[in-house]
Amino acid sequence: MESKPKVLLTGATGFVGGRLLRALSQAGVATRCIARSIQRFPKDLAESPGVEVVQGDLLHREGLERALDSMDVGYYLVHSMGGRSVFQYEAYIDRDLQAAENFVKAADVAGLKRIVYLGGLGEMADNLSAHLMSRQKVGQILQSGRVQTTVLRAANIIGAGGAPFEMLRHLAERLPVMICPKWIDTRCQPISVENVIEYLTGCAFQLSTAGLTLDIGGPDIITYRMLLQIYAEMRGLRRLIIAVPFLSPLLSSYWISLITPVPAGIVMPLVEGLRNEVICRDTRIRELVPTRLLTMKEAICNALAELEQHSGVPISRQACFCQKYAE
Ligand SMILES: NC(=O)c1ccc[n+]([C@@H]2O[C@H](COP(=O)([O-])OP(=O)(O)OC[C@H]3O[C@@H](n4cnc5c(N)ncnc54)[C@H](OP(=O)(O)O)[C@@H]3O)[C@@H](O)[C@H]2O)c1
């Protein structure tokens, strides 16, 4: 792949995929997106230079052959969580695995050269939640084909519009006192969405990452309690967090879906996974794709600034917090 690779992007309508598409377009990389609904595909993205959109659905094997034709690198940024129902939300696991199997088979037939998948951190031996287990299994399925597949494993990705940040933001903004289960003191290693995009683009161009499983994380290893406290401090909010032993993940999910706009079908699997530590064990990515990692304060600053810019409504005097913390 001496010239710029031709890229197939799945999940381009999503939080990470939309940002990756912008970055690829700005870098002059020809990118074809496979989307379930062309009508719902953001017009500004579809009309960006070098972008093509084809209709398709990974779960139902629609459009895959056409989408993969003559492509070099395929980004796999798809999951099947969602929906407002708190019942039967676990059906996403079968859909996750089926979609990955469909993709890897079609990629093999099409002769794709590389796959880059963004999955989740967490160790198999650690009584992983269903969602984190599903992320691992999808990685294994994608790596089982003939195409060399890079698996990037991340904890929570912090950026405006992403489920983890929106949960964090709405909880911290709305609740002066939070009664939380034990998971509030689980350790995690969140990463800014800006760094994730740098790693994703870096992997497509960096052949030495082909076939590897690499952990990606920011510089801060913190608990969820600390993450809430960092956010609250940056926004000048006084928040009391109380951990109690009897609150189950299911009960926590109910109230988090009431307080935040994130759908229950996403909140439930994510909250269930908060019991598992998500920390990088393998830091090879830092040599393979060098970049400056943003601290959580910087990542939150950027997310708040972006929200303010898009909505035109000042969230607060956060600009001064941003300057203070972005130093
Ligand atoms: N966000 C995080 O904090 C985080 C952390 C670690 C890892 N990750 C991983 O990063 C990847 C992207 O996550 P995200 O947060 O960007 O998710 P997201 O915003 O929910 O986007 C999911 C994307 O998947 C697409 N999709 C779902 N089912 C599909 C199907 N059957 N066929 C075609 N497209 C389908 C959706 O398309 P529609 O518009 O049609 O629904 C959407 O574009 C996932 O693999 C996730 O596990 C995310």
Average pLDDT over residues 200-225: 96
pLDDT of residue 125: 81
For residue 135 and ligand 1, the question of a CB distance below 6 A is answered with yes
Please give the number of the atom of ligand 1 that sits closest to the Cα of 76. Answer: 45
Instruction: Provide the whole-model pTM.
Output: 0.94
For residue 154 and ligand 1, the question of a CB distance below 6 A is answered with yes
Distance 77 CA to ligand 1 centre (A): 5
Burial class (CB in 10 A: 0-12, 13-18, 19+), 39: exposed
Strand order across the beta sheet in which 148-154 lies = 51-55, 31-35, 7-10, 73-76, 114-120, 148-154, 213-216
Q: How far apart are CA 131 and CA 121, in angstroms?
A: 11
pLDDT of residue 168: 96
Please give the number of the atom of ligand 1 that sits closest to the Cα of 99. Answer: 31
Q: What confidence category does residue 213 fall into, taking pLDDT thresholds of 50, 70 and 90? A: very high
For residue 262 and ligand 1, the question of a CB distance below 6 A is answered with no
Distance 135 CA to ligand 1 centre (A): 11
Q: How far apart are CA 280 and CA 132, in angstroms?
A: 14
Least confident of 134-148, 178-192, 238-252: 238-252
Please give the number of the atom of ligand 1 that sits closest to the Cα of 82. Answer: 20
Q: What's the pLDDT tens digit per position in 96-148?
A: 999 999 999 999 999 999 999 999 999 988 899 999 999 999 999 999 999 99
For residue 57 and ligand 1, the question of a CB distance below 6 A is answered with yes
Q: Which of 77, 116, 135 to mutate to test the pocket of ligand 1 (most atoms within 8 A of CB)?
A: 77
Least confident of 76-80, 165-169, 260-264: 260-264
Helices (H) then strands (E): counts for the chain: 13, 13
Distance 262 CA to ligand 1 centre (A): 14
Ligand 1, atom 2, lies closest to the CA of 157
Please give the number of the atom of ligand 1 that sits closest to the Cα of 36. Answer: 40
